[in-house]
Structure 1
Amino acid sequence: MIGEVTLRGVEDADLDVLFEFMRDPEAVWMAAFTAKDPDDREAFDAHMRKIRANPETFNQVILGDGVVVGSIASFVLEGDTEITYWIDRAVWGQGVAGRAVALLLERVTVRPLHARAASDNAASLRVLTRAGFKPVGTDTGYAAARKAEIEETILVLS
């Protein structure tokens, strides 16, 4: 069981472990809106270079008891600041996501703050609503992980 959860900036040495997390088939399915090919390391590295260079992106790794167990970020999309996170499946159900979101919300004070989750991802929706996000609607979009159009829930923290 994870005791302490902290955040820190993404370092080059973190990229291998983050890439492996984002290739986990069950996690990819749950996240739904993922890279076209989770096994494409070149695309992953290019994406990470782009977001790490973007001054509007606040990108952090999540540490559980000092070990990288995920990532969390805020970014600007079409004028709205959104958050996203990814948790290593090995620590699902241990409260890591909720604690990481709370830590991010202390550092990212922009409001309103937006989030999205596949509407069937009950765990992620629970994390976000516990953090104070309110569902404000749904949208349908192409989920590369599922190779289908699916519904996502749109949430806002005021």
Structure 2
Amino acid sequence: MAQEARAYGSGGAVRLRAVTDDDLESLFAYEHDPEAVRRSRFTPRPRDAFFRHWRERVLPDPDCLVRTVTVGGEVAGSVVSWTQGGRRFVGYWLGRPYWGRGVGTRALGLFLRLDPVRPLYADPHAGNPASVRLLERHGFERSGTVVHGTDEHVLLVLGKPAGLPAAPLGS
């Protein structure tokens, strides 16, 4: 797998590179943005738990493919894939200054070339239509809903495995 990938568009080059410890401050701040929390329905971790999670679980895990997204050299967010319950998932988080600029679209496109595992799943919050549309633009198809806590999420899959119904499965 390539260590760095790039795409160009408005706002400069979008690149993916290995995560460094210096990136974590920006990623922590993005995770705590109130509007991002509202849209994702993800409870941000306290500072110590955030850094411990990244340093002890995400970065050293050989199953996790994780990249920092940069725009013009600035940390814009992250993209990560991991295996959970026998399924490979992808997730991403961008800082609000990079929303609505095509950064997520370009970053996810680059990342999908780095992680060839299919099927690949994603489960954005149902109340975040921009995230659902971003995934659908890359070929993810709706395959049902899942509930995390009390929140409904859309289950999407890229490279649908044989036998998976096309219609929503329900929660």
Common fold: TM-score over 0.5:
yes
**What is the alpha-carbon distance in structure 2 between the residues aligned to residue 156 and residue 34 of structure 1?**
24
TM-score (norm 1): 0.91
- Secondary structure, in 3 states, of the residue corresponding to 1:43? helix
- The structure 1 residue matched to 2:28, chosen from 7, 19, 22, is 19
**What is the alpha-carbon distance in structure 2 between the residues aligned to residue 3 and residue 31 of structure 1?**
26
> Equivalent pairs: percent with the same residue?
40
Shift of the 90–74 alpha-carbon distance from structure 1 to 2, 3 Å rule, reads: same
Displaced runs of 4+ in structure 1, greater than 4 A?
Answer: none
- Secondary structure, in 3 states, of the residue corresponding to 1:99? helix
- The structure 2 residue matched to 1:42, chosen from 48, 51, 57, is 48
Deviation at 1:3, TM superposition (A): 2.2
**What is the alpha-carbon distance in structure 2 between the residues aligned to residue 79 and residue 139 of structure 1?**
16
TM-score (norm 2): 0.84
Residue segments in structure 1 that go unaligned for 5+ positions in a row = 143-148
**What is the alpha-carbon distance in structure 1 between the residues aligned to residue 102 and residue 76 of structure 2?**
12
Amino acid at match of 1:92: W
Amino acid at match of 2:30: F
Contact 1:2 1:91 in 2 (8 A): no
The count of corresponding residues between Structure 1 and Structure 2 is 149
Contact 2:123 2:146 in 1 (8 A): no
Does 1:32 pair with 2:41?
A: yes
Structure with greater contact order relative to length (CA < 8 Å, sep ≥ 6): 1
- Secondary structure, in 3 states, of the residue corresponding to 1:53? coil
Amino acid at match of 2:155: I
- The structure 1 residue matched to 2:94, chosen from 69, 74, 87, is 87
Amino acid at match of 2:50: F
Alignment of 1:78-157 (within 5 A): 78-142=85-149, 149-157=150-158
- Secondary structure, in 3 states, of the residue corresponding to 2:59? helix
**What is the alpha-carbon distance in structure 1 between the residues aligned to residue 52 and residue 71 of structure 2?**
26
